[in-house]
């Protein structure tokens, strides 16, 4: 394992995953369970540019909606465009078969009155129901390839924490062994992300896949889907200027201010953007995103999609980012400059004090006395771990480039930890009873923890039902003898 001396035999975490309680092996003729369909829809593991309802209308998913764990439709507030119609907001219901609509009495239940799309596994006899989309013909990878992913994605959102059953055995495991478990789990997560990029790249190409990943990551958790949609629509650099890209992205996003901002420079910038957008708008008019796809409340100004799209516009106008990221992998850091600061250099547009965005966080904010960077180290690090390194790994793997794979892993396993968040804190509380355990300060340790949550905690739920992780930890060499017998055995 890169990033430190390995204590555990390589591949042990992979073996642990293999013995998790798994859904029974399926006859390929059986439809998959509904919870799998939910995950396919939630993560859009689909060839999104080819979706079509059973009655022949194209389906554009501008936002898949928010997963509803309560009674009612499976996804709320999805935003879809069917055929040549306008974007509409409504609910999406998933059933294994078309007949589920009638069989589950959705037609007569007012809670389902806002359903705009019925998503099913495969085509069946038409019913008097909302438009139907069959998922099976549109998966982005064969079902056999998706099953391992589905088995871990099919979990639930964690309930408020309590000490996990693995907390006691983990307490007796040396720090270095815990670090090794986390690194092996992190490698699994890297592979999973890479497989998602590879599946998309088979249909869209590597560069397009990278743009989609970057823009989605710039959208954070609330605006990832509309940002991804913009990338799907239009990111093929073709010599346009920064102004043209910024106008196109903001125009397509529906985020160009309709009223002139109060600050003079902002008003001038918006006027120029509108002039450029009017020249370009005609060819995009059917694709403009409705305002309802964006979640803007509570965002820090630095994270506003307008600012993030301005950054994307600079990347696209410059046009060489995919190549520069590939070169970054083979560039040796010199002096005090590590790979993280080298990457930030690649991602940060060239400073231009006269740039509107170098002086203002948003169209509404006053000019800043100091230049404002588009990206900070934390966001660049997030892009590295979630997009750049998995994308490079996927490309190297697809091309059989062993030395590039090694380089990606070398960087991945020593990458400094990113920002802490509620999910990581919750996981540390359950597995390690809080912050006292000395975990490596690496992004890989964070990624490993997230993977354990996904592989073991989410399927097991808050009561750790049938979770095998504690027994697997107990069985580690040297651990068993140190674990006191539990009082109830
Ligand atoms: S579900 Fe398993 S891995 Fe998660 S806290 Fe419980 S015992 Fe630990």
Whether residue 74 sits in one domain with residue 190: no
Looking at the fold, whether 93 and 242 belong to one and the same domain comes out as no
C-alpha of residue 289 to centroid of ligand 1, in Å: 41
pLDDT tens figures, 376-413: 999 999 999 999 999 999 999 999 999 999 999 999 99
Ligand 1 contact via 432 beta carbon (within 6 Å): no
Task: Give the domain-ending residue among 120, 141, 162.
Answer: 141
Domain membership flag for residue 369: yes
Judge contact between 134 and 122, C-beta under 8 A.
yes
pLDDT band at residue 159 under the 50/70/90 scheme: very low
Task: Quickly count: other Cβ atoms within 10 Å of residue 274's Cβ.
Answer: 18
Instruction: Kindly state whether residue 390 falls inside one of the protein's structural domains.
Output: yes
* 161 in the same domain as 134: no
DSSP 488: T
- Comparison of pLDDT for 1 and 211, the residue scoring more: 211
Query: Token pair 């993280």 is at which residue?
Result: 340
Does pLDDT of 25 surpass 80? no
Is 449 touching ligand 1 by the criterion CB < 6 Å? no
What's residue 30's pLDDT? 67
Identify the CA nearest to 3 among candidates 190, 226, 241. 190
- Are 231 and 333 contained in the same domain? yes
Tell me the HSE value of 19 on the side-chain side, using a 13 A CA sphere.
11
The CB of 460 under 6 Å from ligand 1? The reply is yes
pLDDT in tens, 227-243: 999 999 877 767 889 99
Do 136 and 176 lie in one domain? The reply is no
* Alpha carbon of 447 to ligand 1 centroid (Å): 16
Segment 7-35 mean pLDDT: 70
Rounded distance from Cα 463 to ligand 1 centre (Å)? 8
- At residue 314, the pLDDT reads 95
The reported pLDDT for the residue numbered 83 is 93
Least confidently predicted of 103-107, 175-179, 398-402: 103-107
Q: Is the pLDDT of residue 253 over 90?
A: yes
Tell me the best of 20, 158, 431 to mutate to test the pocket of ligand 1, counting ligand atoms within 8 Å of each CB and taking the most.
431
| Higher pLDDT, residue 158 or 354 | 354
The residue from 114, 141, 168 where one domain ends is: 141
CB-ligand 1 contact for 100 (6 Å cutoff): no
Which one of 141, 169, 204 terminates a domain? 141
Q: Which residue range forms the structural domain that includes residue 317?
A: 1-23+154-489
91 and 67 in contact (C-beta within 8 Å)?
no
Q: Which of 19, 165, 462, 472 to mutate to test the pocket of ligand 1 (most atoms within 8 A of CB)?
A: 165
Identify the pLDDT of residue 7: 74
- Residues contacting residue 275 through CB under 8 Å, at least 6 positions apart: none
How far the first Cα of the chain sits from its last, in Å, is 37
Distance, CA of 328 to CA of 338 (rounded, Å): 11
391 occurs within a structural domain:
yes
Testing ligand 1's pocket by substitution, the residue of 19, 455, 460 carrying the most ligand atoms inside 8 A of its CB is: 460
Asked if residue 372 is part of any domain, the answer here is yes
Residue 169 lies in a domain: yes
Distance CA 68, CA 111 (A): 12
- If one compares 124 and 446, the residue with the highest pLDDT of the two is 446
Rounded alpha-carbon distances, angstroms, from residue 197 to 180, 394, 402? 26, 7, 18
**What's the 466 CA to ligand 1 centre distance in angstroms?**
9
Segment 131-158 shows an average pLDDT of: 76
User: Taking the CB of residue 200, how many other CB atoms lie within 10 A of it?
Assistant: 25
158, pLDDT greater than 50: no
Q: Are residues 43 and 13 in the same domain?
A: no
Q: List the beta bridge partners of residue 91.
A: 115
Q: Determine the distance separating the centroid of ligand 1 and the alpha carbon of 15, expressed in angstroms.
A: 17
Residue 116 has pLDDT above 70, yes or no: yes
> What is the pLDDT, as a whole number, of residue 21?
56
Residue 146 within any structural domain of the chain:
no
pLDDT value of position 26 = 46
Average pLDDT score over residue span 449-470: 87
44 and 14 in a common domain: no
> Cα–Cα distances in Å, from 186 out to 13, 90, 414, 449?
10, 37, 12, 8
In a domain, 484, yes or no: yes
pLDDT at position 379 is 92
- Label each residue of the chain as H, E or C: CCCCCCCCCCCHHHHHHHCCCCCCCCCCCCCCCHHHHHHHHHHCCECHHHCEECCCCEEEEEECCEECCCCCCCEEEEEEEECCCCEEEEEEEECCCCCHHHHCCHHHCHHHCCEEEEEECCCCCCCCCCCEEECHHHECCCHHHHHHHHHHHCCCCCCCCCCCCCHHHHHCCCHHHHHHHHHHHHHHHHHHHHHHHHHHHHHHCHHHHHHHHHHHHHCHHHHHHHHHHHHHHHCCCCCCCHHHHHHHHHHHHCCCCCCCCCCHHHHHHHHHHHHHHHHHHHHHHHHCCCHHHCCCCCCCHHHCHHHHHHHHHHHHHHCCHHHHHHHHHHCCCCCCCCHHHHHHHHHCCCCCCCCHHHHCCCCCCCCCCCCCCCCCHHHHHHHHHHHHHHHHHHHHHHCCCHHHHHHHHHHHHHCECCCCCHHHHHHHHHHHCCCCCCCCCEHHHHHHHHHHHHHHHHHHCCCCCCCCHHHHHHCCCCCHHHCCCCCCC
pLDDT of residue 217: 96
Determine the average pLDDT of the residues in 242-248: 95
Tally of domains in the chain = 2
Predicted model pTM: 0.78
Instruction: Give the pLDDT of residue 463.
Output: 74
Closest atom, ligand 1, to C-alpha of 452 = 3
Q: Is 469 in the pocket of ligand 1 (CB under 6 A)?
A: yes
- How far apart are the CA of 467 and the centre of ligand 1, in A? 6
Question: Which residue has the CA at smallest separation from atom 5 of ligand 1?
Answer: 164
**Backbone phi and psi for residue 134, each to the nearest 5 degrees, phi listed first:** -95, 130
* pLDDT(333) > 50: yes
Residue nearest atom 4 in ligand 1 by C-alpha distance: 457
Are 235 and 351 members of one domain? yes
Average pLDDT in the 60-74 region?
85
Question: Does 308 fall in a domain?
Answer: yes
Q: What is the mean pLDDT of the chain?
A: 86
Query: In this predicted structure, what is the pLDDT of residue 20?
Result: 67
Residue 426 has which token pair?
A: 């919750």
Mean per-residue pLDDT, 311-316: 96
Residue 488 has pLDDT above 60, yes or no: no
Which of 332, 305, 339 shows the shortest CA–CA distance to 228? 305
Cβ of residue 165 lying under 6 Å from some atom of ligand 1:
yes
Q: State yes or no: pLDDT of 161 exceeds 50.
A: no
pLDDT mean over 166-189:
93
- Answer yes or no: do 185 and 121 share one domain: no
Is residue 467 within 6 Å of ligand 1 at its C-beta? yes
Max mean pLDDT range (26-35, 172-181, 329-338, 469-478)? 172-181
The radius of gyration computed from the CA coordinates of the chain, to the nearest angstrom, equals 24
Q: What pLDDT does residue 17 have? A: 81
Torsion angle in degrees (nearest 10) through CA of 44, 48, 52, 54: -20
User: Which tens digits make up the pLDDT trace of 411-448?
Assistant: 999 999 998 887 888 888 889 886 678 889 999 999 99
pLDDT band of residue 172 (cuts 50, 70, 90) is: confident
Residues 215 and 351 in one domain: yes
DSSP 107: G
pLDDT for position 156: 41
Residue 478 pLDDT > 70, yes or no? no
116 and 228 share one domain: no
Tell me: the pLDDT tens digits for 201-236?
999 999 999 999 999 999 987 899 999 999 998 777
pLDDT band per the 50, 70, 90 thresholds, residue 480? low
Are 171 and 115 in the same domain?
A: no
Which range (3-12, 190-199, 305-314) has the least confidence?
3-12
Is the CB–ligand 1 distance for residue 450 below 6 Å?
no
Of 94-98, 126-130, 199-203, 330-334, minimum mean pLDDT range: 126-130
With the most atoms of ligand 1 within 8 angstroms of its CB, the residue from 467, 475, 486 to mutate is 467
CA of 147 to the centre of ligand 1 (A): 22
């Amino acid at each position: 394992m890169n990033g430190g001396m390995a204590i555990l035999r390589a591949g042990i975490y992979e073996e642990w995953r293999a013995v998790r309680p798994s859904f029974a092996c399926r006859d390929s003729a059986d439809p998959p369970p509904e919870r799998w369909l939910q995950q396919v829809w939630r993560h859009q593991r689909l060839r999104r540019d080819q979706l079509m309802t059973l009655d022949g209308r194209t389906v554009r998913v501008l936002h898949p909606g928010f997963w509803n764990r309560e009674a009612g439709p499976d996804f709320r507030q999805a935003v879809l465009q069917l055929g040549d119609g306008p974007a509409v907001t409504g609910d999406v219901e998933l059933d294994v078969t078309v007949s589920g609509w009638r069989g589950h009495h959705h037609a007569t239940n007012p809670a389902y009155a806002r359903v705009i799309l019925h998503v099913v596994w495969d085509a069946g006899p038409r019913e008097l129901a909302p438009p139907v989309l069959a998922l099976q013909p549109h998966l982005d990878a064969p079902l056999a390839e998706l099953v391992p992913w589905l088995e871990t994605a099919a979990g639930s959102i964690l309930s408020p924490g309590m000490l996990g059953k693995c907390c006691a055995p983990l307490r007796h495991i040396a720090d270095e062994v815990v670090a090794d478990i986390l690194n092996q789990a992190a490698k699994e997560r890297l592979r999973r992300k890479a497989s998602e990029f590879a599946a998309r790249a088979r249909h869209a190409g590597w560069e397009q896949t990278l743009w989609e990943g970057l823009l989605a990551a710039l959208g954070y958790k609330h605006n990832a889907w509309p940002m991804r949609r913009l990338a799907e629509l239009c990111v093929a650099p073709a010599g346009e200027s920064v102004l043209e890209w910024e106008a196109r992205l903001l125009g397509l996003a529906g985020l160009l201010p309709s009223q002139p901002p109060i600050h003079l420079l902002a008003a001038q910038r918006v006027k120029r953007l509108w002039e450029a957008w009017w020249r370009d708008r005609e060819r995009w008019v059917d694709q403009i995103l409705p305002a309802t796809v964006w979640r803007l409340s509570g965002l820090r100004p630095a994270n506003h999609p307008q600012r993030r799209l301005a950054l994307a516009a600079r990347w696209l106008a410059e046009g060489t980012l995919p190549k520069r990221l590939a070169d970054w992998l083979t560039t040796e850091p010199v002096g005090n400059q590590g790979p993280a600061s080298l990457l930030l250099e690649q991602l940060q547009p060239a400073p231009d004090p006269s740039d509107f965005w170098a002086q203002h966080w948003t169209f509404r904010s006053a000019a800043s006395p100091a230049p404002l960077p588009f990206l900070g180290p934390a966001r660049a690090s997030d892009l590295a771990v979630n997009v750049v390194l998995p994308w490079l790994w996927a490309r190297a793997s697809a091309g059989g480039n062993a030395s590039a794979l090694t380089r990606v892993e070398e960087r991945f396993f020593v990458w400094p930890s990113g920002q802490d968040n509620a999910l990581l804190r919750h996981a540390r509380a359950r597995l390690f009873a809080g912050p006292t355990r000395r975990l490596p300060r690496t992004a890989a340790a964070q990624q490993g923890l997230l993977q354990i949550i996904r592989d073991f905690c989410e399927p097991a739920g808050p009561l750790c039902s049938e979770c095998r992780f504690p027994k697997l930890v107990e069985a580690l060499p040297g651990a068993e003898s140190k674990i006191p017998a539990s009082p109830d055995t």
